Structure 1
Amino acid sequence: MKHFVSLIRMKHWVKNGFVFIPAFFGGVLFNQDNLVLLIAGFFCFSFVASAIYVINDYRDIEVDRNHPEKKNRPLASGAISPTVGFIVATIFLIAGIALAFFVNTDFLYIILTYLVINLGYSLGLKNISILDIMMVASGFLLRTIAGGVIIDISLSQWLLIMVFLGALFIALAKRLDDLILAEQSGTISRKVKNYNLNFVYSGITMISGVSMVSYIMYTISAEVTERLHSDHLYFTSIFVVAGILRYLQISLVEKNSGSPTKILLTDRFLITTILCWILSFYVIIYMSKGL
């Protein structure tokens, strides 16, 4: 069971929570019908993403065996055979697409687009620097757009820009982790062949600044304040700025190498900041409606 959970990367399912973003920011998250559809959408992305992870691991078996951490993955270590991995990927892929069909047709098209992009990534496009992180970021953007399509809610342009920039930030942070591991092991992997620390540090810093501005612009945009009936959303930017600065501190000052997902789930300051951001948004949007 442990190897199976590792194979499908269940801990990465948290990324599919982006489908809930439009409903949360739109103030309609706790509508029962919306929740049912969004949960179904969450599992669609999770199943399809797990299938893609397995396919990617199969293609990278030999490379992963020479990696200090990835050599312990189920396929690379031999804990699960390629045949079993293929069966698991097929079952998850069929389940994800079938469930998407029952959600709605437009959502199915988004899932298929997500599948094609990620298959292209796994089959070779990941070897093209910059395009690789853009493709990773597009996955988060598609999840967010899907969340709006599922419950038929309009999405702010600022929200989409903010999500895409935030996803680029995460992708670059992962490249930073790969670079630090490469320095420690002395092995230059495919992922960091055309990257270096100066480039990644500069990219992370630039995108951090633009992301903060995008979020602030989102909170004060007339469209959002009118739709949510609140002029106080900008207060939540305090926690967004604090969270980004903390991540920069971890990366640039502490030089703490680690998966962005792992850091977000283990750093106490970041966890506190995220919870405060969610709480402040909830108070401003939902409690003001009496929900």
Structure 2
Amino acid sequence: MQSIAKLIRVRHWVKNLFLFIPSFFAGHLFKTQELLMVLLGALAFSFVASAVYVLNDYRDRDVDRLHPEKKFRPLASGEVKTHTAWVLMALLLGSGFWLAASLNTTFLYLLLGYFALNLAYSFGLKHIPILDLFIVSLGFLIRIYSGGVIADLPITHWLSLMVLLLALFLILAKRRDDILINGKHKNGFVIRKSTKKYNLVYINSCITLLSAVMIVAYIMYTVSPEVTERFQSDYLFVTTVFVIAGIMRYLQIVFVEKKSGSPTNIFIKDKFILTTIAGWILSFYIIIYAL
């Protein structure tokens, strides 16, 4: 069971908390029925996303065996047999789409679109530089729109923009880790084909650019008349402290510690990142729900 959980990457289900973002920003955190529906939607999304992980691991198993960390993945190491992986993928897809259909038809279409996009990514688009970054980022946008559809809440342009910027930032940091690993292979082998069109100067420049744009965009969001009027508060800018601190810590992990290979592990294990996230959530909670 441990190998199966590792194969479907249960810890990566934390990414599907993005479905709760629309409800959080709308001030609906205590609407039990709505949150239950979104929770079921996040579970459906987790099932389908796990099926995609299984498919990608199956297709990349030979390449993963040459990666210092990915070689321990269940399919690459042989812990899980290929026929087991196919059965598991079918069960995950069936359960995910059935649950989505029972919740909301539009959500089902979004989930089908997410799966189709990832199929295209897995079977070729991931090898096209820059496009590969935006495809992965689009997956996070689909998540927040899914949460909005289930909760019957509109998604603002501000929210879409900030999620896109954050996703691009995290993906670029992960690509940087791939480039560093490629440099350690003296035979010219590359972990990911699209990284042939990237180098550290380009990736570093993009990461720096996006981190700056994210901070500016977030500040503009917190002080925009539309947002301050909707939340009836002029103090949202206070939460910027945690955003800047979190980004600075992530840049430290990327450039100093050089451990940006798994954003999920960083968000789960890094104490400073966890503290900034908790501080951001708490401050936003106080401003939205208490003041």
Q: Which TM bucket (shorter chain)?
A: over 0.9
Looking at structure 2, the residues matched to 204 and 160 of structure 1 have their Cα atoms a distance apart, in angstroms, of 19
| Equivalent residue number for residue 100 of structure 1 | 100
| Equivalent residue number for residue 153 of structure 2 | 153
The answer to whether residue 230 in structure 2 is matched with residue 227 in structure 1 is yes
- What per-residue deviation string (whole Å, max 9, x for no partner) do you get for residues 189-239 of structure 1? 225222111111111110111111111122122222222222211110111
1:272-291 counterparts in 2 under 5 A?
A: 272-288=275-291
Change (3 A) 1:257 1:108: closer
Aligned to 1:193, the other structure's residue is in SS state helix
Identity within the alignment, %: 53
Aligned-pair distance for 1:182? Answer: 2.2
| Equivalent residue number for residue 256 of structure 1 | 259
Letter paired with 1:232: Y
Letter paired with 1:95: S
| Equivalent residue number for residue 201 of structure 1 | 204
| Equivalent residue number for residue 123 of structure 1 | 123
Looking at structure 2, the residues matched to 223 and 147 of structure 1 have their Cα atoms a distance apart, in angstroms, of 21
Preserved CA contact (<8 Å) 1:19 1:143: yes
Structure 1: unaligned runs, 5 residues or longer: none
- Of the three residues 217, 220, 243, the one matched with 1:214 is 217
The answer to whether residue 143 in structure 2 is matched with residue 143 in structure 1 is yes
Preserved CA contact (<8 Å) 2:174 2:260: no
The answer to whether residue 250 in structure 2 is matched with residue 247 in structure 1 is yes
| Equivalent residue number for residue 80 of structure 1 | 80
Letter paired with 1:243: G
State the 4+ residue runs in structure 1 displaced beyond 4 angstroms. Answer: none
Looking at structure 2, the residues matched to 258 and 138 of structure 1 have their Cα atoms a distance apart, in angstroms, of 20
| Equivalent residue number for residue 19 of structure 2 | 19
| Equivalent residue number for residue 169 of structure 1 | 169
Q: Which moved more, 1:279-288 or 1:182-191?
A: 182-191
Aligned-pair distance for 1:185? Answer: 4.2
Aligned-pair distance for 1:254? Answer: 3.3
Looking at structure 1, the residues matched to 110 and 57 of structure 2 have their Cα atoms a distance apart, in angstroms, of 24
Q: Which moved more, 1:221-230 or 1:8-17?
A: 221-230
Looking at structure 1, the residues matched to 160 and 213 of structure 2 have their Cα atoms a distance apart, in angstroms, of 13
Superposition TM-score, scaled by structure 2 size: 0.95
Change (3 A) 1:91 1:62: same
Aligned to 1:167, the other structure's residue is in SS state helix
| Equivalent residue number for residue 34 of structure 2 | 34
Letter paired with 2:12: H
- What per-residue deviation string (whole Å, max 9, x for no partner) do you get for residues 97-117 of structure 1? 110001111111111111110
Looking at structure 1, the residues matched to 56 and 258 of structure 2 have their Cα atoms a distance apart, in angstroms, of 28
Q: Which moved more, 1:65-74 or 1:231-240?
A: 65-74
| Equivalent residue number for residue 179 of structure 1 | 179
Preserved CA contact (<8 Å) 2:172 2:206: yes
Q: Which moved more, 1:265-274 or 1:101-110?
A: 265-274
| Equivalent residue number for residue 236 of structure 1 | 239
Looking at structure 2, the residues matched to 264 and 182 of structure 1 have their Cα atoms a distance apart, in angstroms, of 25
Letter paired with 2:28: V
Superposition TM-score, scaled by structure 1 size: 0.95
Aligned-pair distance for 1:92? Answer: 0.2
Aligned-pair distance for 1:2? Answer: 1.0
Preserved CA contact (<8 Å) 2:178 2:192: no
Q: Which moved more, 1:271-280 or 1:255-264?
A: 255-264
Aligned-pair distance for 1:257? Answer: 4.5
Looking at structure 1, the residues matched to 242 and 87 of structure 2 have their Cα atoms a distance apart, in angstroms, of 44
- Of the three residues 252, 268, 272, the one matched with 1:269 is 272
Q: Which moved more, 1:258-267 or 1:97-106?
A: 258-267
Letter paired with 1:46: S
Looking at structure 2, the residues matched to 52 and 144 of structure 1 have their Cα atoms a distance apart, in angstroms, of 19
* Paired residue total: 288
| Equivalent residue number for residue 192 of structure 2 | 190
Looking at structure 2, the residues matched to 22 and 151 of structure 1 have their Cα atoms a distance apart, in angstroms, of 8
- What per-residue deviation string (whole Å, max 9, x for no partner) do you get for residues 237-285 of structure 1? 1110111111112212333354122122222221111111111001111
User: RMSD across aligned C-alpha pairs, in angstroms?
Assistant: 1.3
Aligned to 2:197, the other structure's residue is in SS state coil
